[in-house]
Amino acid sequence: MSTTAINPTRNNDYPEWYQQVIKAADLAETSPVRGCMVIKPWGWGIWENLQRELDRRIRDTGHENAYFPLFIPLSFLEKEATHVKGFAKECAVVTHHRLEEKDGKLVPTAPLEEPLIVRPTSETIIGESFSKWVHSYRDLPLLINQWANVVRWEMRPRLFLRTAEFLWQEGHTVHATEADAREETMKMLEVYRDLAENVLAMPVIMGEKTAGERFPGAVNTYCIEAMMQDRKALQAGTSHYLGQNFAKGSDIKFTDESGAIQFAHTTSWGVSTRLIGGMIMTHGDDDGLRVPPKLSPRHIVILPVVPKPELGAKVMAYAEELANSLRGLRYGERELSVHIDRRDERGGEKNWQWIKKGIPIRIEVGPRDMEAKNLVLYRRDRPHKEKTILSAADLPARILGLLDEIQGAYFSQAKAFRDANICKDIRTPSDFRAYFTPKNEAKPEIHGGFVLGKWSGDAKAEQELAEMKVTIRCMPLEQSGTNGTCVMTGKPASVDAIFAKAY
Amino acid sequence: MSTTAINPTRNNDYPEWYQQVIKAADLAETSPVRGCMVIKPWGWGIWENLQRELDRRIRDTGHENAYFPLFIPLSFLEKEATHVKGFAKECAVVTHHRLEEKDGKLVPTAPLEEPLIVRPTSETIIGESFSKWVHSYRDLPLLINQWANVVRWEMRPRLFLRTAEFLWQEGHTVHATEADAREETMKMLEVYRDLAENVLAMPVIMGEKTAGERFPGAVNTYCIEAMMQDRKALQAGTSHYLGQNFAKGSDIKFTDESGAIQFAHTTSWGVSTRLIGGMIMTHGDDDGLRVPPKLSPRHIVILPVVPKPELGAKVMAYAEELANSLRGLRYGERELSVHIDRRDERGGEKNWQWIKKGIPIRIEVGPRDMEAKNLVLYRRDRPHKEKTILSAADLPARILGLLDEIQGAYFSQAKAFRDANICKDIRTPSDFRAYFTPKNEAKPEIHGGFVLGKWSGDAKAEQELAEMKVTIRCMPLEQSGTNGTCVMTGKPASVDAIFAKAY
């Protein structure tokens, strides 16, 4: 029998552990609509906090929010040839706008003249607006962001990581010059790195995708890549320099300072609810979820321990006094959120519910703590029995520091794990193959982590990679500048790349 | 030639005035997707503020946010017979999940086994989740809210008022008893009244809809009704007691305290981006939009006046000093938003742009103001040339009070207008008809406002009302309790009702 709260453990069955953590934390569940999920209040609270943190960063870098249609006319999607090819296989298509009863059965009627696609991404529909908004170089840069739902039909959906409908923000910007657009692309990649590392406590590698992994229609795609605890990679955010491809498709032109008419340069960039999947797989342990304090819907739960009913009112009053002592404090973007769990259930049961939900701090108070004006504090980054006795008077002065320590500990732990699982020593194709070959047939998920090695750019070798289910995650922005041999072909190569199995 | 910023004026052509105000304020625009609008940054900022205010009220009344699928399987919609009939004529139907090239043309392929409806409202898909979440009376009440986009196909779309896609919140709650569910229904109606009156500055009448105007599937529908400046009514929010209708359709059952299994009682309630249309039509004037301070994306714009280029830097520094003196102040839910308009354009032009956008306060500062340590302040609730000279030192202490005055003035003006246009004297059917007959054939929009009169409930009379394009907006919660004669039939009647033409 398992002695952990989550069964199976990460080592026993990582994919199933992931599902069980989500269930135990009451984050989300599948719905009767294929590939669409229901995000429950605890999961939604995490997403709201993530939105708040990112939204501030998007505004601070000069962008404004707006909202564009859910539907894209089929002909719009075709405006960029590579783009439509990239999304054609996963489009939800609206073809009718009415239901009618026929032979006792409700069927779609009133066919549309032109089918509408539920947006898989919005370059083409937003481009249409931009072509009307941009006339002169004075209108540039145009810096717009949208928070929205998008749909990409998924054959193998997985909660948060790959769902047919997902929620995201998509930034879309227009610039006069390539240099300006490239600067924007990299600026937003850095915003994503900051969000991932300082809010999600998830270390990431910034890099560029290979041609094969580019966003359909982009000139360059940059990404942040994180390592999950099964040592697979998760693409956590992307930022694209789109060149003039979409500007030409959507006719986004402007008169420059010399009076000449030019096509603009555009960018787009997005992160999604997938980040919550990344958070779960980066920080979760065999007792359930661990939510970084900056994202946790609640920071602290106070669990009153009432051994005798007649003491209930007093202990509850003491719990309220503690909660009140924290009132008005702010952590990051919002007020400290303190919850008193008043439910009339077994204390151990309640305690474990909060452990599984990953709340950063649990505080237990009983009659003796009350008399001593103490409290017992448990941190989710420490073993679940490790307690700290604190004086109630010290709590307000200590609490923000404790939350910072937990936030920091999650990042350090994740970074240590990732760094320990990046292999930099592979020089030969045979070593490379061995590294990605499962050591144990019964557990194919146990294999090497990331390889940081040289890549010659050989197309055939990229095919072989695919057969091994390995992909080039990115060519890190930080390049060593050294020469070496390609890990796949043994040919001379100078580009550093990250190779990994991925979600 | 018109001497107002908006052409035509409200009196000349109200519907066209509405479109022109939206354009002049840069709030939104139509899109190439029939009935779907683009919400531009100034319009989106208003929606975000409205969301923030309402979201707090929804949380303060004990609700939690969550998120449910965009799509509803056709069979789910059919779970409540009246419900599906009510929405069948306006459903966007997804029938395929792929595009493929055939004869050089991209066409939908991969038909779905069961068509999916883009949610027009979510009772049936949320009900499916609730049926799994609710087991015992201990799980009740279940109080959930969702912020989402919904689609109802519109043949005559109009920006904000009636769009195929619109944004809203929809509350969905489950209760053990009818009494609890009815209490919830009325509680949320009151939240909507508070939002309309204290945030939108839009006076509303709370009442119940007649059977013919009920939400499809509801037992009772309650609403808040506002009067626009053309004296038509706008339904601004609804709250429904759904009885056990949807609980039976979705199988939401619970074990009560005695161990018996019962169907639950549910409610739903929503307001949408339509409220922005209401705000425009309640407060806009012939110079453009007037945004209540609680909703305005920016509260104050500072317009530096630079007569000679060499004075530019000094005046700009003074403007910054003023802005800094307001830093840290909060108005309502958020920080005071002060914007310095640094654009190198004609002062008059800039001034009028902000008037048309409806910003509450404009502050002009030039070299002389700088020397005198003064500023010139203009309020959007006052004639556009009416200025107040204020000492810079007094500004921080005065500013919140000024915003409150403007917020209050908008409400008072709207209430005075509405109250002056509610006719309570109609006793005979012929007077009733005369009241709603346009006085001027060329301007059919000029007609009477609201009639508060008696209603006998006669079905044939309700048909005749429809022919006159008049509807019963609601039976106000506040009933006089008197007896009288029905304004349509002359029969004895005791129910007070509001009759009006409506959006």
Residue type, A262: Q
Helices and strands, number each (H, E), in chain A: 14, 27
Instruction: List all residues 6 or more positions away from A260 whose beta carbon is below 8 Å from its beta carbon.
Output: none
- Looking at the predicted structure, is the pLDDT value of residue B249 above 90? yes
CB contact under 8 A, B88 and A100: yes
Between CA A166 and CA A149 the distance in angstroms is 6
Residues of B in contact with A216 (CB under 8 A): none
Per-residue pLDDT tens over the stretch A284-303: 999 999 999 999 999 999 99
**Contact residues, chain B, for A37 at CB < 8 Å:** 69
Beta carbons of B66 and A41 less than 8 Å apart: yes
Q: Which residue of A has its CA nearest to B344?
A: A138
Query: Hey, what domains does chain B have and what are their CATH numbers?
Result: 14-283 (3.30.930.10), 300-406 (3.40.50.800), 422-500 (3.30.110.30)
Confidence of residue B304 (pLDDT cuts 50, 70, 90): very high
Can you give the pLDDT at residue B442?
56
Residue B440 pLDDT grade (very low, low, confident, very high; cuts 50, 70, 90): low
Helices (H), B88-173: 123-133
Interface of B with A in 297-336 (CB under 8 A): none
Percent of chain B with pLDDT over 70: 98
A85 touches chain B (CB under 8 A): no
| Amino acid residing at A382 | R
**What pLDDT is recorded for position B441?**
59
Output the pLDDT for position A266. 98
B30: chain A residues, CB-CB within 8 Å: none
The Cα B468–Cα B461 span in angstroms is 11
A50 vs A47: CA distance, rounded Å? 5
A 10 A CB-CB count for A103 gives 5
State phi, psi for A401 to the nearest 5 degrees: -65, -40
B92 touches chain A (CB under 8 A): yes
Task: Kindly determine whether residue B70 and residue A100, on different chains, have CB atoms separated by under 8 Å.
Answer: no
Partners of residue B148 in chain A, C-beta under 8 Å: 149
Left (φ > 0), alpha (ψ -120 to 50) or beta: where does A251 sit?
left
CB contact under 8 Å between A71 and B65, yes or no, is no
When pLDDT is averaged across residues B173-194 and rounded to a whole number, the result is 98
Q: Does A115 touch chain B (CB under 8 A)?
A: yes
Closest residue in B to A36 (Cα–Cα): B69
Query: Chain B: nearest CA to A416, how far in angstroms?
Result: 34
CB-closest option in B93, B100, B106 to A99: B93
SS3 B346: coil
What residues of A are in contact with residue B91 (Cβ under 8 Å)?
Answer: 96-99
- Concatenate the DSSP letters of all residues of B264-333 into one string: -EEEEEEEETHHHHHHHHHH-BTTB----TTT-S-SEEEEE--SSGGGHHHHHHHHHHHHHHTTT-EETT
Residues with Cβ < 8 Å from A20, sequence gap 6 or more? A6, A7, A8
A37 Cβ under 8 Å from any chain B Cβ:
yes
Residue with tokens 């991969």: B110
CB of A157 within 8 Å of a chain B CB? The answer is no
Distance separating alpha carbons of residues B45 and A65, to the nearest angstrom: 8
Amino acid in position B494: S
Q: Is B369 on the interface with A (CB under 8 A)?
A: no
Option in B66, B97, B151 nearest A93 (CB): B97
B414, pLDDT greater than 50: yes
Segment B331-354 shows an average pLDDT of 92
The ipTM assigned to this model is 0.96
Calpha distance B64→A47 (Å, rounded): 13
B80 touches chain A (CB under 8 A): no
Residues of B within 8 A of A85 (CB-CB) are none
* HSE-CB of A79 using CA atoms within 13 angstroms: 21
pLDDT given at position A1: 42
Q: What distance in Å separates residue B41's CA from the closest CA in chain A?
A: 5
pLDDT computed for residue A439 by the predictor: 72
B35: distance to nearest CA of chain A, Å? 9
Q: What is the pLDDT of residue B447?
A: 61
Q: Is residue A420 less than 8 Å (CB to CB) from chain B?
A: no
Kindly list the residues from chain B whose CB atom is less than 8 angstroms away from the CB atom of residue A128.
31-32
Question: Is omega for the bond preceding A141 within 30 degrees of 0, making it cis?
Answer: yes
Give the model's pLDDT for residue B359: 98
Measured from the Cβ of residue A356, the count of other Cβ atoms closer than 10 Å reads 21
Task: Find the residue in B nearest to A115 (Cα).
Answer: B108
B239, B192 Cβ separation under 8 angstroms: yes
**3-state SS, one letter per residue, for A441-481:** CCCCCCCCCEEEEEECCCHHHHHHHHHCCCEEEEEECCCCC
Structure-token pair, residue B144: 């959930």
Which residues does chain A have within 8 Å of residue B47's beta carbon, measured at their own beta carbons?
67
Cβ within 8 Å, pair A93-B99: yes
CB contact under 8 A, A118 and B70: yes
Mean pLDDT on B142-168 = 96
A91 part of contact set with chain B, CB < 8 Å: yes
Q: Count Cβ–Cβ pairs < 8 Å, chain A vs chain B.
A: 185
Contact A95 B90 (CB under 8 A): no
**CA A22 and chain centroid, separation:** 15
Flag residues of chain A having pLDDT under 70.
Answer: 1-2, 440-447
CA angle B398, B404, B408 (to 5 degrees): 140
Q: Does B50 touch chain A (CB under 8 A)?
A: no
Residue numbers in A near B98 (CB within 8 A): 88-91, 93, 153
- Short-list B110, B176, B173, B182, CA closest to B146: B173
The mean pLDDT value of chain B amounts to 95
Do residues A160 and A280 touch, judged by C-beta distance below 8 A? yes
3-class SS of residue B48: helix
Rg for chain A (alpha carbons), in Å?
A: 26
Looking at residue A462, its pLDDT comes to 86
Question: Could you give the CA distance from residue B387 to residue B382 in angstroms, rounded to a whole number?
Answer: 9
Query: In angstroms, what separates the C-alpha of A32 from chain B's closest C-alpha?
Result: 8
**Which residue in chain B is spatially nearest to A86 when comparing CA positions?**
B99
pLDDT score recorded for residue A81: 85
Contact B72 A149 (CB under 8 A): no
Interchain CB contact of B125 with A (< 8 Å): yes
Instruction: Quickly state the pLDDT bin for B347 (edges 50, 70, 90).
Output: confident
Closest alpha carbon within chain B to A110: B89
| Residues 131-150 of chain A whose Cβ lies under 8 A from any Cβ of chain B | 132, 144, 148-149
Q: A28 to chain B nearest CA, in Å? A: 9
pLDDT (tens digit per residue) in B125-138:
999 999 999 999 99
| Phi-psi label, residue A438: left if phi above 0, alpha if psi -120 to 50, beta otherwise | beta
